[in-house]
Amino acid sequence: MARTKEFDPDAALQAALELFWRRGYEATSMADLVEGLGIARASIYATFGSKHELYLRALERYNEQHDPGLLAELSQPGPVLPAVRALVRRYAGMGDDDRKRGCFITNTAVELAPHDEAAARRVEVSYDHLETALTAALLRAEAQGELPAVREPRALARMLVVLLQGIRVVGKTAEGGPRVRDAAEQALTLLD
Amino acid sequence: MARTKEFDPDAALQAALELFWRRGYEATSMADLVEGLGIARASIYATFGSKHELYLRALERYNEQHDPGLLAELSQPGPVLPAVRALVRRYAGMGDDDRKRGCFITNTAVELAPHDEAAARRVEVSYDHLETALTAALLRAEAQGELPAVREPRALARMLVVLLQGIRVVGKTAEGGPRVRDAAEQALTLLD
DNA sequence: CTTATTCTGGACCGAACGGTCTTAAAAGTT
DNA sequence: AACTTTTAAGACCGTTCGGTCCAGAATAAG
């Protein structure tokens, strides 16, 4: 005998992700969220608990949305190095708007991780996933003879993780486009 | 017939830099600044204008403090590649506290650059300086026969800038130390 | 020592902050 | 259709925000 929800919590979470992603945690006020989510303030608190919990939920949502595609991209059968290259180039080749927004994980790592244990944990998990996926891909590349056996897959994967994070930072500025594209191409020569 | 200043504006600016660097712009309140600078609220406004202007001044101060050392490090006579390697390894090898604090430029790029024109400009200038210094160094390395002529100094410099920014981001998390050290070593093989 | 000047500390400002609560409407059950 | 339950909207809470103002202390010049 309960009344049905009138809004879609999933869509609301998505809207919250959009806001936090674009403006960061501190600069996004509850008033912004009320407007952006299109639902009442009380409903936000009833559904998500607090601004902080909502942010963490948005962070998880971001991971859920991006991890599977990444994993699939890197574990396709056939040659793997082209997939890795495509991934890095996609990060580096994004349009101005995407570049400005950056990566939600990067943004969280910088703004919250140093003084927010819960946020830091999720960032770390995210890096772990990416590093593991890249390492597995590079190991497979090695096994398939695409990569000289002399390379160290784990260290190479870590280099790519760090590079991708750097791309998301430098990409935030106006001249970031050319900068990160050059950087990506240089780093990718390590895969030859 | 004027009363002398009772505090050192330079020291105050330094304290402001410390606070903004560690907590970011939004999370640092004027109350924090009053306490951290050890001077009256009104004196802060009289001296620096506003919170935002104070932040920009702190940003300039950061650049003034770090740019000369960097430039000197990279333009010492003799072999240049060892200096470049030492620079990257120093970034990657910092202790937990420094790693958590990260780089003030990185923090500004992520938190403010997307929606703060003035801050974005200064970040860009900072990247320009670093890229230029690294490019000059790599050109010198090439001229001195340290670097194969086939490499592209500017692109390589851009890669290092992006890498350094990535190091500052990934370094913020608990397991960042090993990650960024591996990443740095891998990237540095591009200089061989 | 007086006077003119300027800096200091803190009270104070309206606005915005994150979060709570009340009220009334809407929907499922009977 | 009546009743119960849960939702939604927004008024409202105390607090903190960035920023201003003012009274008084401190200083240099006369």
- Residue B25 pLDDT exceeds 90: yes
Would residue B141 count as lying in a domain?
yes
The three-class DSSP label of residue B114 is helix
Is there a contact between A169 and B109 if contact means CB atoms under 8 Å apart? yes
- Average pLDDT of span A142-146: 95
Nucleotide nearest to B45 (CA to C1'): D19
Token pair, residue A163, equals 């590079």
Q: Quick one: pLDDT at residue A61?
A: 96
Would residue A151 count as lying in a domain?
yes
% of residues, chain B, pLDDT over 70 = 97
- Average pLDDT of span A137-161: 95
- Average pLDDT of span B172-184: 97
Interface predicted TM-score (ipTM) of this complex, two decimals: 0.93
| Confidence band, pLDDT 50/70/90 cuts, at residue A3 | low
Q: How far is the CA of B25 from the C1' of D28 (A)?
A: 39
Question: For A112-191, where are the alpha helices, taking DSSP H only?
Answer: 117-143, 153-170, 176-188
Expressed as residue numbers, the domain containing B74 is 59-191
Would residue A50 count as lying in a domain?
no
Would residue A46 count as lying in a domain?
no
**Mutation site for B-interface testing, chosen from A159, A160, A175 by largest number of B Cβ within 10 Å:** A159
**Please, are residues A49 and A114 in contact by the beta-carbon 8 Å criterion?**
no
Q: How does pLDDT run across A5-15, given as a tens digit for each residue?
A: 667 888 999 99
Element (H, E) at A22: helix A9-23
Q: How does pLDDT run across B98-155, given as a tens digit for each residue?
A: 999 999 999 999 999 999 999 999 999 999 999 999 999 999 999 999 999 888 999 9
Q: Give the mean pLDDT of chain A.
A: 94
Is there a contact between A155 and B101 if contact means CB atoms under 8 Å apart? no
**CB-contacted nucleotides of strand C (7 Å):** 4-11, 16-22, 25-29
Q: How does pLDDT run across A150-164, given as a tens digit for each residue?
A: 889 999 999 999 999
Would residue A103 count as lying in a domain?
yes
% of residues, chain A, pLDDT over 90 = 88
Would residue B77 count as lying in a domain?
yes
**Number of folded domains that form chain A:** 1
Q: How does pLDDT run across A14-40, given as a tens digit for each residue?
A: 999 999 999 999 999 999 999 999 888
Give one word for B37, left, alpha or beta, with left for phi > 0 and alpha for psi -120 to 50: alpha
- Residue B4 pLDDT exceeds 80: no
Would residue B127 count as lying in a domain?
yes
**Please, are residues A79 and B65 in contact by the beta-carbon 8 Å criterion?**
no
Would residue B81 count as lying in a domain?
yes
**Please, are residues A38 and A7 in contact by the beta-carbon 8 Å criterion?**
yes
| A40 or A137: which leads in pLDDT | A137
The CATH number assigned to the domain holding B160 equals 1.10.357.10
